[in-house]
Amino acid sequence: MVAEMKATKSDLISAECKAEIDEWVAKYPLDQKQSAVMAALRILQDDNGGYLTTELMDAVADYLEMTPMAVYEVATFYSMYELSPVGRHKICVCTNISCMLCGSDEVVAHLRKRLGIGLGETTEDGRITLKEVECLGACVDAPMCQIGRQYHLKLTPEKIDEILDQLD
């Protein structure tokens, strides 16, 4: 006999995402499912076009048997999680000390000019979001930025134009 399934908040998570989260859950001790919270949030953020909603965070809480508040705390603490819609491409420009000394101000100024948006804003066509971030650990090649999973190093205005032209 099949037991009637009760609707739960984690129903919002697709089967594929659940399978991916389960891989992370399996890496931790059985009673410490919540250790997979960061991975779960990343998976769902990618699946949701780059940002998290309260419903998705509640779904993670439900799925990993955590208090919703504990998930909110993680999601708001790390700057890699987005809590409102972002563009198709997220350009994260490091403005921390090494990059700043090597000219990140010019990088930011050029991006602002090219895209016509400020830091933390998204182009009108929803294509690109510009974001200021802290050190991404590539000081040796400063100034730098991250787009998607890709680091772009030793940035110059020309190089930035080249990168932007290649984005869809």
Partner 1 sequence: MVNIEIDGKKIHAREGSMVIEAADDAGINIPRFCYHKKLSIAANCRMCLVEVEKAAKPLPACATPVTDGMKVFTRSAKAVAAQKGVMEFLLINHPLDCPICDQGGECELQDVALTYGSDVSKYSESKRVLPSKDFGPLIGGDMTRCIHCTRCVRFGIEIAGVYELGTIGRGEHMEIGTFVQHSLSSELSGNIIDLCPVGALTSKPFRYVARAWELVQRDSVAPHDCVGSNIHVHVKGDRVVRVVPRENEEINETWLSDRDRFSYEGLNSADRVQVPMIKVEGEWQETDWETALHRAVDGLKQVGSDDIGALASPLSTLEELYLLQKLMREIGCGNIDHRLKQTDFSDQQEAPAFPWLGQAIGDLEGNDAVLLIGADLCKDQPIIGHRLRKAALSGGRISSVNPADFSYHFPRLASRVASNMLAELVAIAQALLDETGKAAPEEFATLSKAVEVTDAQKQIAESLLKGQSSSVLMGEAAINDAQFSAIRSIATLIAELSDSRPGYLPAGGNGAGAWQAGALPHRKAGGRPASVNGKNVAQMLQSEMKAYLLLNTEPEVDCADTDAARKAMQKAQFVVSLSPYASEAVMAYADVILPVSPFTETSGTFVNVEGRWQSFEGVVPPLGESRPAWKVLRVLGNLFNCDGFDFVESSEVLAEISTAAGDMGRDNSISWRCPASLGSASEYRAAADYAGDGIVRRAESLQAVAQSRV
Q: Which stretch binds partner 1 (CB under 8 A): 6-14, 16-24, 71-79, 135-143?
A: 71-79
Which residues inside 95-134 make contact with partner 1, applying CB under 8 A? none
161 scored as a contact of partner 1 (CB under 8 A): no
In this complex, which beta carbon is closest to partner 1, that of residue 95 or of residue 123? 95
CB of 69 to partner 1, least distance (A): 4
Sign of the Cα torsion 71, 73, 79, 82 reads positive
H-assigned helices in the chain? 15-25, 37-47, 54-63, 68-77, 97-101, 104-115, 157-166
Residue of 53, 47, 85, 81 whose CA lies nearest to 68: 53
Q: Confirm if 61 and 33 have CB atoms less than 8 A apart.
A: no
67 scored as a contact of partner 1 (CB under 8 A): yes
Residues 84, 87, 90, CA angle at the centre, nearest 5°?
A: 95
Residues that contact partner 1, how many (by CB under 8 A): 9
In this complex, which beta carbon is closest to partner 1, that of residue 2 or of residue 69? 69
77 scored as a contact of partner 1 (CB under 8 A): yes
Q: Confirm if 91 and 129 have CB atoms less than 8 A apart.
A: yes
CB of 45 to partner 1, least distance (A): 17
In this complex, which beta carbon is closest to partner 1, that of residue 66 or of residue 144? 66
CA separation, residue 3 to residues 6, 11, 62 (Å)? 9, 16, 20
When binding is defined by CB under 8 A, the residue of 30, 69, 124, 165 that contacts partner 1 is 69
Q: Using CA atoms, how far apart are residues 41 and 71, in angstroms rounded to an integer?
A: 9
In this complex, which beta carbon is closest to partner 1, that of residue 106 or of residue 132? 132
CB of 54 to partner 1, least distance (A): 6
